[in-house]
């Protein structure tokens, strides 16, 4: 130890005389480090609802708080320089239920709330290594008790009215399988018979959907007539076998592309097969197909509804159920839900073409059109936008997610279309058709034991 300074030495001697021990300067005390108690985790960030549609926000995108759907819609619209058209007065209400009905008004709402074009362009020009992942709130992929019950009921209703491909004993026919002809009457008779049975099954499916029979009888019939062809097309396309390029009907009858053409599909054939091919990457199960069918059916933008708001309210939980179920089933593929929803647009386009095909088909078949099929095809919505926008709606959809297009036309135009069809039928056949559709409508009324004059 170094020598003790003089002043300290004297003090040391004093202390030593009193205590008998020699004092030495104390070494510097070593601090004792105690670990601090862990700080509580920061609370999760809570974002304002989406400024565009008021749905749950996933963060700030392109300058404003927005949901994943509106973020993606705005990005695609800017990157692809999309030009949209409003079919109303350019003042459509945009919320989480109606946001997919008018792309024009949705994009204008994006601009109004402050979404930035430049932010999209800058984001696109960044190198991948410099791109920082946006902070996204974790979503809850668990269905609530009510939604779980809804999913189970819809899935059961679909499965019990539409057996899956693996449940069918497939059989084929050699009838006109090699070359296309205008119409094979044998195949047409079989196809029209199966289509009529399918319509009855679709009515049964509708009756079993929660809330459907609480609608007025008039609205039930309107929805069925508007969506029946959509659901029929969706169902047959889910039974597409790409390896053989065939489609299978509910009794097991399996037809190739040429036979489908000859059975009555005609120029619609390739469009239907293209749609079936687009369904394959989605890998939809029975539950998703059932939910999508229910969404096609329960849709508040159909013409002549008495209570469209009530129909929209019934559709809302179906959309939420499909969204959560799809994302829970494919947690790494969040884009699958909007891609499925886009198929509603495609189905409406195919239905428009199907109604046009039915007009020419009447001149090719020797007898009258089966009554239920005729009544379904006389749905005024089937002839909407058939001159201009209908052609683009019926075209094969691009791979990018589009918004659901609301079909709009005047009631006068629809009435003219119906009258043009009616002139091909005599009074006795009209009476027969009305009688047959009434029998189908009675299936809707049976569960309620009530009705009103139509």
Give me 160's structure tokens: 């019990």
Find out if CATH 3.10.129.10 is the number for domain 59-130: no
Using alpha carbons, select from 292, 247, 250 the residue that is nearest to residue 273. Answer: 247
- Give the separation between CA 273 and CA 270, rounded to whole angstroms: 5
Q: Which residue has the higher pLDDT, 135 or 50?
A: 50
The enclosing H or E element of 256 equals strand 253-256
Q: Which residue has the higher pLDDT, 374 or 387?
A: 374
Q: Please report the pLDDT score of residue 367 as a whole number.
A: 85
pLDDT-derived band of residue 405, with 50, 70 and 90 as boundaries?
A: very low
Q: Please report the pLDDT score of residue 154 as a whole number.
A: 96
Using alpha carbons, select from 376, 382, 391 the residue that is nearest to residue 409. Answer: 382
> What are the pLDDT digits (tens) for 163-198?
877 777 777 887 766 788 888 899 999 998 998 999
pLDDT-derived band of residue 374, with 50, 70 and 90 as boundaries?
A: confident
Average pLDDT, the chain: 76
Contacts of 399 (CB under 8 A, 6+ apart): none
Q: Please report the pLDDT score of residue 271 as a whole number.
A: 93
- Give the separation between CA 359 and CA 424, rounded to whole angstroms: 10
Q: Which residue has the higher pLDDT, 171 or 138?
A: 171
The CATH architecture annotation of domain 145-446 reads: Orthogonal Bundle (1.10)
Helix (H/G/I), strand (E/B), else coil: 74: helix
- Torsion angle, alpha carbons of 327, 320, 305, 445, to 10: 90
Using alpha carbons, select from 310, 301, 240 the residue that is nearest to residue 276. Answer: 240
Q: Are 387 and 380 in contact (CB under 8 A)?
A: no
Domain boundaries, the chain: 59-130, 145-446
Pairing of the two strands 240-241 and 246-248:
antiparallel
Burial 112-147 (b: 16+ CB within 10 A, else e): ebebbeebbeebeeeeeeeeeeeeeeeeeeebeeeb
- pLDDT of 133 over the 50 cut: no
Q: Which residue has the higher pLDDT, 7 or 193?
A: 193
Q: Please report the pLDDT score of residue 216 as a whole number.
A: 94
Whole-number percent of the chain with pLDDT over 70: 67
- pLDDT of 85 over the 60 cut: yes
Q: What is the pTM of this model?
A: 0.57
Using alpha carbons, select from 275, 270, 273, 254 the residue that is nearest to residue 191. Answer: 254
Query: DSSP characters for 36-48?
Result: PPPPPPPPPP-PP
- pLDDT of 278 over the 70 cut: yes
């Amino acid at each position: 130890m170094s020598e003790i300074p003089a002043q300290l030495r004297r003090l040391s001697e004093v202390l030593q005389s009193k205590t008998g021990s020699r004092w030495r300067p104390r070494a510097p005390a070593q601090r004792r480090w105690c670990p601090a108690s862990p700080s509580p985790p920061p609370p999760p960030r809570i974002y304002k609802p989406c400024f565009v549609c008021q749905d749950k926000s996933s963060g700030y995108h392109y300058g404003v708080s927005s949901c994943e759907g509106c973020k993606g819609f705005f990005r695609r619209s800017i990157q692809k320089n999309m030009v949209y058209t409003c079919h109303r007065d350019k003042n459509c209400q945009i919320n989480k239920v109606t946001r997919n009905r008018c792309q024009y008004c949705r994009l204008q709402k994006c601009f109004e709330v402050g979404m930035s074009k430049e932010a999209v362009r800058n984001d696109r020009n960044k190198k991948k290594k410099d791109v920082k992942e946006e902070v996204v709130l974790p979503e809850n992929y668990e269905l609530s008790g009510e939604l779980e019950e809804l999913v189970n009921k819809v899935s059961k209703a679909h499965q019990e009215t539409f057996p899956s491909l693996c449940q069918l004993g497939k059989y084929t026919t050699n009838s006109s399988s090699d070359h296309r002809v205008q119409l094979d009457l044998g195949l047409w008779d079989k196809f029209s018979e199966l289509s009529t049975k399918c319509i009855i099954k679709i009515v049964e499916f509708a009756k079993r959907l929660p809330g459907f029979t609480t609608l007025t009888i008039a609205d039930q019939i309107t929805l069925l007539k508007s969506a029946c062809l959509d659901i029929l097309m969706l169902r047959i396309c889910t039974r597409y076998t790409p390896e053989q390029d065939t489609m299978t009907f509910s009794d097991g009858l399996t037809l190739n592309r040429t036979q489908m053409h000859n059975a009555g599909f005609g120029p619609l054939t390739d469009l239907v097969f293209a749609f079936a091919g687009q369904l394959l990457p989605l890998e939809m199960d029975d539950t998703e197909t059932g939910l999508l069918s229910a969404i096609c059916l329960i849709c508040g933008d159909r013409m002549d509804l008495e209570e469209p708001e009530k129909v929209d309210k019934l559709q809302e939980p179906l959309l939420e159920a499909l969204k959560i179920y799809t994302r829970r089933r494919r947690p790494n593929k969040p884009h699958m839900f909007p891609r499925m929803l886009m198929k509603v647009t495609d189905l409406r386009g195919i239905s428009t073409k199907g109604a046009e095909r039915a007009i020419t088909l009447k001149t090719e078949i020797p007898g009258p059109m089966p009554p239920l099929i005729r009544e379904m095809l006389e749905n005024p919505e089937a002839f909407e936008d058939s001159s201009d926008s209908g052609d683009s709606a019926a075209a094969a959809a691009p791979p990018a997610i589009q918004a659901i297009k609301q079909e709009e036309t005047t009631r006068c135009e629809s009435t003219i279309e119906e009258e043009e069809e009616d002139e091909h039928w005599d009074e006795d056949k009209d009476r027969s058709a009305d009688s047959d559709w009434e029998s189908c409508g009675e299936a809707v009324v049976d569960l309620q034991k009530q009705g009103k004059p139509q």
